[in-house]
Structure 1
Amino acid sequence: MYDLTGFQRDLLYVIAGREEPHGLAIKDELEDYYEKEIHHGRLYPNLDTLVEKGLVEKGQHDRRTNYYTLTRRGRREIDARREWEEQYLD
């Protein structure tokens, strides 16, 4: 996960915390967290990068709406990151 941006890590956490979220649901979560607008031009290329890296899978709810889920590798990466963070937060 060392090669991901902070935004990409945040995307992983949001996807992990929701059941098959679609892009706009992810966008809404991050806008609440960042307290500013997230543009589609930032969101979707970063989601595509996570798919290309094998951390996220993209499926279709219907012809217009995609959903995202973590892969096993994505879950392992989050778990490893949390373990790493915890050693500094005790």
Structure 2
Amino acid sequence: MDDLTGFQRDLLYVIAGFDRPSGQEIKEEVEEYYRSEINHGRLYPNLDTLVNKGLVEKGQLDRRTNYYAITADGEQAIVDRHEWKSQYIG
């Protein structure tokens, strides 16, 4: 996870917290946290990066809607990140 941006890490955490969220659901959750609008040109390329790195899988709910799900590698990346951060903060 050391090669991910902070935004990509945040997307990974959001995806891990939901059961197969759509891109729109992820967008809404991240917008709430960031307190600003996240445009599609920022969101979807970063989701694709997570998919390409094998941290997230992408599937189709219907013709217009994709879902995203954390993979075992994605879960492990979160665990590793948490353990690393725990060295510095309680």
Q: Hey, what's the Cα distance between the residues in 2 that align with 1:49 and 1:89?
A: 28
Partner SS for 1:80: helix
The amino acid across from 1:81 in the alignment is R
Q: TM-score scaled to structure 2, two decimals?
A: 0.98
Residue 55, structure 1, aligned to residue 60, structure 2? no
Q: Hey, what's the Cα distance between the residues in 2 that align with 1:44 and 1:63?
A: 17
Residue 36 (structure 2) aligns with:
36
Name structure 1 gaps, 5 residues minimum. none
Aligned length: 90
Q: Hey, what's the Cα distance between the residues in 1 that align with 2:70 and 2:61?
A: 16
The amino acid across from 1:4 in the alignment is L
Residue 77, structure 1, aligned to residue 77, structure 2? yes
Residue 88 (structure 2) aligns with:
88
Name structure 2 gaps, 5 residues minimum. none
Q: CA deviation at 1:37?
A: 0.3
| Greater share of residues in helix | 1
The amino acid across from 1:60 in the alignment is Q
Q: TM-score scaled to structure 1, two decimals?
A: 0.98
Q: What RMSD in Å do the two structures reach over aligned CA positions?
A: 0.5
The amino acid across from 2:32 in the alignment is D
Q: CA deviation at 1:40?
A: 0.2
Counterparts of 1:4-23 in structure 2, within 5 Å, are 4-23=4-23
| CA offset digits 1:19-52 (Å, max 9, x no partner) | 1000000000000000000000000000001000
The amino acid across from 2:3 in the alignment is D
